Amino acid sequence: MSKALLIIDIQNDYFQGGKCELVNPKEASLKAKVLLEHFRKNSMPIFHIQHINLRQGATYLLPNTLGVEIDENVKPLEHEIRIEKNFPNSFLETNLEWELEKLHVKELVICGMMSHMCIDSTTRAAFDLGFDCTVAHDACATKDLIFSDKRINAHEVHHAFMSALGTIFAKVVSVEEILK
């Protein structure tokens, strides 16, 4: 069974000074970098997912901006596959599934941004498509959210989404556990 790494949306707008700052994006990107180096060293497939926000009224990850660029910590090498997407689900209207099938990938290691949005929707979609998923929880980041006039801090948001994914959709573990 072939295993691949999906690095989802680790892009400049999510970092300090970006248009949609997350909580601890640098720390998450450095953990993702550890996974990336492991997959490179072991010649395993790597997919860099880049969100290009075309939604009406969008304010971040806009085409042709510095913010849409993939962060230096996980910059793709020339031969690594880059998938551009326009929706939270990395499979929706992309060739990701086809590229994975072409390489006979059955197992995905998923990391990136944002835990509550693209990590969640991509992991659930991958599960529905029959992939075995592992989410590296410490290589993901999110932000505070507002619901019913209450601020939910990023730590709680992240843990809620990781616990939900871990119920059936994925094995949710640390980068260290993945590398064992």
Strands 150-152, 145-147: pairing is antiparallel
CB 104 within 8 A of CB 22: no
Q: How far apart are the first and last CA of the chain?
A: 18
Say which of 13, 71, 111, 118 is annotated catalytic: 118
Q: How far apart are CA 36 and CA 118, in angstroms?
A: 19
Say which of 9, 13, 120, 138 is annotated catalytic: 9
Catalytic annotation present for 150? no
Catalytic annotation present for 144? no
Catalytic annotation present for 85? yes
Q: How far apart are CA 89 and CA 75, in angstroms?
A: 21
Residue among 121, 29, 35 nearest 73 (CA):
29
Say which of 85, 111, 133, 140 is annotated catalytic: 85
CB 60 within 8 A of CB 15: no
CB 36 within 8 A of CB 30: no
Task: For Cα atoms 2, 5, 157, give the angle at the middle one, nearest 5 degrees.
Answer: 130
Question: Mind telling me the catalytic residues?
Answer: 9, 85, 118
